[in-house]
């Protein structure tokens, strides 16, 4: 399975993400400069954390017009996996690949700490190795993670099981006190209708090795590999 990590000017989690795919998963991975347009040969494209184009105007607003972003809808349309982490999610929202928008954190503070997440949907390519309702710990580091969508969109996300992660308490309760940024519905991560585009504010690449004191993020990468393996098997059966 071949991974690509998109590099925008001022991406700053690109190397961490590359490291996890390369050293922890042991899968082929390349950087994709934002001026490139060719995504042929990639199975999973990751938009990493950072401050693409300085987050000028709005987080992700300018990055979404980078040449590579023109190729992303077609890549996702072919069933390619797209994972947006933190700034990557902000870019996906601005690009309209996921619905809604990010507002400034309600505290007005940049939040850099661990949060607890409840895994709401384990039927996605990114979460199938978790258990429904499992509470996991991941770090966040953002100033604009206050998710907003209009009531109709929120209801649709809810109905279709597209809210994948929510901020929660240690007991897995969805409480205002567990919400680090004011996001509606304590939403920390959502996916598209098909399930092959996921964006989340927390950073799984920062908690996928025991040396870092937390491996709760590993489930994301294992899910991707598991899903991909299962998809290849199905393909092989079809081709017999």
Partner 1 sequence: MFEARIYVTLKEGILDPQGKAVKGGLANMGYQGVADVRVGKFLVLTLDSPDRRQAEQSVREMCDRLLANPVIEDYTFEVQEASS
Q: Which residues are catalytic?
A: 86, 203, 205
What's the rounded Cα separation, in Å, for the pair 46 and 6? Answer: 6
Among 27, 58, 111, 137, binds partner 1 (CB under 8 A): 58
> Does 70 engage in binding with partner 1 (CB under 8 A)?
no
CA 163 to chain centre: 12
DSSP helix/strand/coil, 3: strand
Output the smallest distance, CB 219 to partner 1, in A.
Answer: 30
Output the smallest distance, CB 214 to partner 1, in A.
Answer: 29
> Does 111 engage in binding with partner 1 (CB under 8 A)?
no
Among 25, 61, 174, 231, binds partner 1 (CB under 8 A): 61
Site string for partner 1, 14-53 (x = CB under 8 A): ----------------------------------------
First and final C-alpha spacing in the chain? 21
User: Using H for helix, E for strand and C for coil, what is the string for 65-119?
Assistant: HCHHHHHHHHHHHCCCEEEEECHHHHHHHHHCCCCCEEECCCCCCCEEEEEEEEE
> What's the token pair of residue 3?
């991974």
Q: Which residues bind partner 1 (CB under 8 A)?
A: 57-58, 61-62, 65, 93-94, 99-101, 103-108, 146, 148-150, 182
């Amino acid at each position: 399975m071949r991974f690509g990590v998109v590099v925008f000017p001022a991406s700053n989690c690109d190397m961490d993400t590359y490291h996890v795919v390369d050293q922890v998963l042991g899968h082929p991975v390349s950087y994709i400069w934002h001026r490139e347009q060719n995504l042929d040969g990639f199975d999973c494209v990751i938009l990493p954390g950072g401050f693409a184009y300085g987050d000028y105007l709005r987080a992700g607003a300018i990055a979404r017009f980078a040449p590579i972003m023109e190729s992303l809808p077609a890549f996702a349309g072919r069933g390619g996996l797209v994972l947006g982490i933190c700034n990557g999610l902000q870019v996906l929202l601005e690009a309209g690949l996921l619905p809604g928008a990010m507002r400034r954190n309600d505290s007005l503070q940049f939040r850099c700490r661990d949060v607890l997440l409840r895994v709401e949907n384990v039927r996605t390519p990114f979460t199938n190795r978790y258990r429904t309702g499992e509470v996991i710990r991941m770090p966040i580091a953002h100033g604009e993670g206050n998710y907003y969508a209009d009531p109709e969109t929120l209801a649709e996300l809810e109905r279709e099981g597209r809210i994948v992660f929510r901020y929660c308490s240690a007991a897995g309760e969805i409480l205002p006190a567990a919400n680090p940024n004011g996001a509606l519905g304590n939403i920390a991560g959502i996916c598209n209708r098909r399930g092959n585009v996921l964006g989340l504010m927390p950073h799984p690449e920062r908690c996928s090795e025991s040396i870092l004191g937390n491996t709760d993020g590993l489930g994301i990468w294992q899910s991707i590999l598991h899903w991909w393996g299962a998809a290849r098997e199905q393909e092989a059966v079809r081709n017999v």
